[in-house]
Amino acid sequence: MIEIYEGEGKGKTTAACGLAVRAAGRGIPVVFAQFLKDGTSGELNILREIPGVRVMVPDGFHGFVSRMSEEDRAACGEACRRLLREIGGITARCADSGSGETCPVSAGSGAPGTERRDGESCGGVNPGDVRCLVVLDEILHAFRYGFADEEAFLALADRSGGGVEFVLTGREPSDRILERADYITEFVCRRHPYDRGVRARRGIEY
């Protein structure tokens, strides 16, 4: 299934982190990938310590989109597309629950006790249900600015089968993405301290 957390309000990444923790707590392997971020946000420090969670970020950070040079944009696009291809390889293997291989998510995280056995899901629980949760944080922005390809993602989702759950966060999803989504949650900003001149706070906004 595909879940979308979108809108102007605060809390999209926070909600995705909560779902990642819930899934990991049930033994479901998690890929938590961030696009267009520098990989230093506070939640990643904790997620990296959770067994069965694999954190992924693009190679390098190229700054805010509005300040990118043409060279920065090209490098950022290549990094985002490369990350999405790598995720596609992981999810394709995760979806194959009958191979008896070690789960590629857990193998990358060093998490104990998450190897698959024949007939089990990638997480070793709920055969035929969710085998892997994949959070693609800020990928909707990457789609909007052309750094990642929507069609490539949708093809990836099709190849991964029903056992992989995708969570997409960001703003302004396209009609094509909205049509494919199974869950859509919009975050509406009613009030924000930024409007009073309060800058982003460590541990709250990042």
Instruction: Count structural domains, the chain.
Output: 1
Q: Could you list the residue range(s) of the whole structural domain that residue 118 is in?
A: 2-196
Contact 97, 129 (CB under 8 A): no
Share of the chain above pLDDT 90, in %: 66
Q: How confident is the model at residue 96 (pLDDT cuts 50, 70, 90)?
A: low
User: Which residues neighbour 205 within 8 Å (Cβ) at sequence distance 6 or greater?
Assistant: 10
Q: Can you give the CATH number for the domain in which 37 is found? A: 3.40.50.300
Question: Which tens digits make up the pLDDT trace of 30-68?
Answer: 999 999 988 899 999 999 999 999 999 988 787 788 788
Residue 85 resides in a domain: yes
Residues forming a β-bridge with 33: 56, 136
Residue 188 resides in a domain: yes
Residue 116 resides in a domain: yes
Residue 181 resides in a domain: yes
Residue 122 CA to residue 115 CA, distance in Å, equals 8
Residue 202 resides in a domain: no
Residue 155 resides in a domain: yes
Contact 163, 130 (CB under 8 A): yes
Residue 157 CA to residue 140 CA, distance in Å, equals 15
Residue 205 resides in a domain: no
Mean pLDDT of the chain: 86
Question: Which tens digits make up the pLDDT trace of 99-133?
Answer: 444 556 654 444 433 333 333 445 444 445 889 99
Q: Output the pLDDT for position 95.
A: 63
Residue 135 resides in a domain: yes
